[in-house]
Structure 1
């Protein structure tokens, strides 16, 4: 029997958090080995396990996979969270790309000055409420189904819920004008595997703060 996937990354959200979410949604238990220092990172590099000298890296099914999208694609495909055909996979990819763009702006907040952060949060909220969330509200309205693609739980649903919750951490009422997304959030949050991941004590990471930002800069010599 294959062991649990092992995740190599810093002890925070960053680019690994969506991988944690997807594994949790699939009901897959995983272990984590945290990169705590520059020396930890250099050891992974010198061991030759980081194809492009970068983390995240996930050990799974006898492979050491790098590049976030490759890791997510593999997990989604393996656990039937990637649609039933090419058209559905394309829709999932399209929706995931959109939510990734939004989440990337939030992830990068740790590198902002306090003044820059306040301004950027306003920018993120504006983009979320005028560019990204209206798209998903319309998708749900147009097809009248519980899920984004094929009326079946998929990676796109997991990713959108993650994006919603991250954005709500910046402004709690960000979904005020999106009733279908409010219902979607409640519905997806109550899927048993997701509900478990949202409970205290899970491997979900807390919002990133200035202390974490400083640590990341030190580890990666930024």
Structure 2
């Protein structure tokens, strides 16, 4: 599929969920990376950013902003939103939970001297709240997916969080057998695996990425 364009800074950030969903769906998309503030201001002047924020997904003649709107549109378009009304509600609940669990995503934006403490604090949050909840959900699944018998955006969003957590706390999922099986299953998905090993997948955020975001967006 062509004609899909994602505009964002050169890094994971709020664009990564959409990238992973498109990768899981097996579709191609174009990336436009903002590298200076003038490009960002031009998008706003052209009326493409409803709330003056990126990412911007251009697809099917639409200019979609706000990361959750992008996730929902892609999930619906590529049949990853759930098959029934009940399934759709469950998918959305898990997506919201996964977004809350995105506690490792912004660590690079904190001072280096506080990052170790923040990682330890987030480890406690993960172990006390999110990982047991995800383990319980998978314990009620016969397919190994969170909702129904096929891949949904809920799986992709939880997978994104686990990948980020693994960057900082390797092996933490090992204490959660169902979640560990799920994590390995997702890593073994041919389409996701191809994306994760491609040059479209950005490395863990670092000081250079933080400086680029501040330069372009603030």
Q: Same fold (TM over 0.5)?
A: yes
Structure 2 CA distance, aligned partners of 1:93 and 1:9?
24
Which position in structure 1 is the counterpart of 2:206? 209
Q: Segments of 4+ in structure 1 off by > 4 A?
A: none
Alignment of 1:95-114 (within 5 A): 95-103=94-102, 105-114=103-112
Q: Does structure 1 residue 187 correspond to structure 2 residue 185?
A: yes
Structure 1 CA distance, aligned partners of 2:64 and 2:139?
37
Task: Please list every run of 5 or more consecutive structure 2 residues that lacks an aligned counterpart in the other structure.
Answer: none
Which position in structure 2 is the counterpart of 1:77? 76
Aligned counterpart for 1:157 among listed residues 155, 158, 166: 155
Shift of 1:10: 0.1
Output the TM-score relative to the length of structure 2.
Answer: 0.95
Aligned counterpart for 2:175 among listed residues 174, 177, 188: 177
3-state SS of 1:128 partner: helix
Shift of 1:182: 1.0
Q: Does structure 1 residue 51 correspond to structure 2 residue 45?
A: no
> Contact conserved, 2:105 with 2:164, CA < 8 A, in 1?
no
Report the aligned-residue RMSD: 1.3
3-state SS of 2:7 partner: strand
Task: Please list every run of 5 or more consecutive structure 1 residues that lacks an aligned counterpart in the other structure.
Answer: none
Shift of 1:86: 1.2
Shift of 1:144: 3.6
Shift of 1:40: 1.1
Which position in structure 2 is the counterpart of 1:218? 215
Structure 1 CA distance, aligned partners of 2:27 and 2:139?
32
Shift of 1:142: 2.5
Which position in structure 1 is the counterpart of 2:60? 61
